[in-house]
C-alpha cells in the first residue's frame, strides 16, 4: 500500500518536474529576446556583431543620447501619449454616458440603441478604411490628431458600452431611489453616487482600449503623413529606415519604445490581462 503510494508520489514529482521544465523553457523563449534587445541597446555595432551573447562592455547611454537628439523619437512618444490619452478619455466619457442611459433608465428605444452599439463590436473598422478615409478627407481631418482620435473613439465605444452597461445594471436601484427622494438631480446621482461605484469597470475599459490604441500602426499609417504628427509605432518605421545599419541605435529605439508599456504592465499585470482578454473570457 505504502509502496504504491510512494511510487505514485514519485510519478507525480516527475510529472511536476517536467511541467516546471516546460514552463521554464517557455519563459526563456519569451524573456531572452527582450533581454538581448535591452543589452544590445548599450552596445556598439562591433560588440553586437562579434559577441552577441556577451554583456555590454559598459552601460553607456551613447545610443540613447543619439536616439534622443538625432531623431524625432521624443515627438513620436509625446504624440502617442497625447492621442492615447485623448482617445481613452473620450471613450470613457461617451460610452459611460450612453451605458448609463441604457442601464439605468427605461425608455422606448433603449433595446434598439443598445443593439446598435453592440452590433458595432463585430465590425472590423480596418476594412472600412477607404470610406473612412474619404469621410475624414471631406471633414478636413486627414493628417490631424482629431481625425485619428475620433476613429479610435468610434472603434472603442461599442465594447465599452457593452462592458459599462453590464456593470451599471448590477448596481442596486435603492441607491439612486433614496438619493432621488432627497431631491438630488439626475446628474448628481450619476456623478456622485453611481460613477464612483463603477471605477473597477472603468479601469478595465481604459486598459482594454489604451493598449491597442497605443500599439496601433494601421490607422496612423493611412491617416497621418506629417512627421510631426506620427505616433510611436509609426515613427519607429521611419527611424528604422534611417538607421538600418546602426544596430545599437535600432535596439535602443526598440527598447525605449517598449519601455513605457512594459513598466506599466509589470505594475498592473492583473488589470492588463483581464482588460485584454475581456470579451474572450467570460
Partner 1 sequence: MNNGWRHTAKAFRWRRSLWIASLLTPALVVMVLFVLWPLLSAFRLAFYEFNGLQPTGFVGFENFRKVLFETPYSDWTYNALKHNIIAFAALMVFENGTAFLLAYALLKALPGHRIHQVIVFLPVVLSAVIVGFLWKLFLHPLFGLVNQTLALVGIGAIPWLGNESTALGSILFANIWHWLGFPTLVLLAGMQRVSKEVIEAARLDGAGDYVLMTRIIWPLIAPSVTIVTILTFIGSFNWFEIPYVMAGLTGSPGGATDVLGLYFYRTAFGSTTTGIQDFGQGSALAVMMFIIVAGVTAIALRYLRRREIEL
Sorted by sequence, the CB contacts under 8 Å of residue 221 that are 6+ apart come out as: 234
Asked if 72 and 230 count as a contact pair (C-beta separation under 8 A), the reply is yes
145 binds partner 1 (CB under 8 A): no
> Residue 138 corresponds to which cell in the numbers above?
471631406
Question: Looking at 1, 53, 172, 226, which residue binds partner 1 (CB under 8 A)?
Answer: 53
Q: Please, what is the minimum distance in Å from the beta carbon of residue 151 to partner 1?
A: 6
Q: Which is nearer to partner 1, 61 or 93 (CB)?
A: 93
Complex with partner 1: residue 81 or 276, whichever CB lies closer: 276
Report 176-195 residues binding partner 1 (CB under 8 A).
Answer: 183, 186-187
Residue 26 makes contact with partner 1 by CB under 8 A = yes
The verdict on 243 binding partner 1 (CB under 8 A) reads no
Query: Using CB under 8 A, which residues numbered 210 to 229 contact partner 1?
Result: 211, 214-218, 222
- The answer to whether 76 contacts partner 1 (rule: CB under 8 A) is no
**Residue that has been written with the C-alpha cell 481625425 in this structure:** 147
Closest CB 176 distance from partner 1, rounded Å = 13
The footprint of partner 1 on residues 79-138 (CB under 8 A) is 93-95, 97-98, 100-102, 105, 107, 113, 116-117, 120, 122-135, 137
Binding region for partner 1 (CB under 8 A) out of 44-52, 71-79, 170-178, 195-203: 44-52
* 201 touches partner 1 by CB under 8 A: no
Q: How far is the CB of 65 from partner 1 (least distance, A)?
A: 21
CB 248 within 8 A of CB 60: no
CB of 139 to partner 1, least distance (A): 8
Q: How far is the CB of 58 from partner 1 (least distance, A)?
A: 21
Q: Does 30 bind partner 1 (CB under 8 A)?
A: yes
Residue 251 is a binding residue for partner 1 (CB under 8 A): yes
Residue 63's contacts (CB-CB under 8 Å, 6 or more residues apart) are 41, 42, 43, 248, 249, 251, 252
Contacts of partner 1 in 149-178 (CB under 8 A): 150-151, 153-155, 157-158, 161
Q: Is the Cβ of residue 12 or residue 65 nearer to partner 1 in the bound state?
A: 12
* 65 binds partner 1, rule: CB under 8 A: no
Amino acid at each position: 500500500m505504502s509502496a504504491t503510494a510512494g511510487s505514485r508520489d514519485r510519478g507525480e514529482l516527475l510529472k511536476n518536474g517536467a511541467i516546471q521544465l516546460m514552463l521554464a523553457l517557455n519563459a526563456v523563449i519569451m524573456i531572452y529576446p527582450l533581454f538581448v534587445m535591452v543589452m544590445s541597446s548599450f552596445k556598439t555595432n562591433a560588440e553586437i556583431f562579434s559577441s552577441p551573447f556577451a554583456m555590454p562592455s559598459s552601460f553607456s547611454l551613447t545610443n540613447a543620447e543619439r536616439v534622443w537628439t538625432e531623431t524625432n523619437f521624443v515627438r513620436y512618444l509625446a504624440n502617442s501619449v497625447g492621442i492615447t490619452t485623448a482617445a481613452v478619455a473620450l471613450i470613457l466619457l461617451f460610452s459611460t454616458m450612453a451605458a448609463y442611459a441604457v442601464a439605468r433608465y427605461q425608455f422606448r428605444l433603449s433595446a434598439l440603441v443598445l443593439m446598435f452599439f453592440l452590433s458595432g463590436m463585430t465590425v472590423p473598422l480596418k476594412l472600412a478604411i477607404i470610406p473612412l478615409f474619404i469621410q475624414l478627407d471631406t471633414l478636413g481631418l486627414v493628417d490631424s490628431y482629431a481625425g485619428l482620435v475620433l476613429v479610435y473613439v468610434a472603434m472603442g465605444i461599442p465594447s465599452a458600452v457593452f462592458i459599462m452597461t453590464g456593470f451599471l445594471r448590477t448596481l442596486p436601484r435603492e441607491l439612486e431611489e433614496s438619493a432621488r427622494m432627497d431631491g438630488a438631480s439626475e446628474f448628481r446621482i450619476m456623478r456622485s453616487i453611481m460613477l464612483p461605484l463603477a471605477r473597477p469597470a472603468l479601469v478595465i475599459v481604459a486598459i482594454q482600449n489604451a493598449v491597442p490604441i497605443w500599439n496601433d500602426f494601421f490607422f496612423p499609417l493611412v491617416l497621418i503623413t506629417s512627421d510631426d504628427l506620427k505616433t510611436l509605432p509609426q515613427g519607429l518605421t521611419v527611424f528604422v529606415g534611417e538607421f538600418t545599419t546602426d544596430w545599437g541605435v535600432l535596439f535602443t529605439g526598440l527598447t525605449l519604445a517598449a519601455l513605457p508599456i512594459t513598466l506599466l504592465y509589470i505594475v498592473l499585470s492583473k488589470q492588463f490581462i483581464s482588460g485584454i482578454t475581456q470579451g474572450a473570457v467570460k
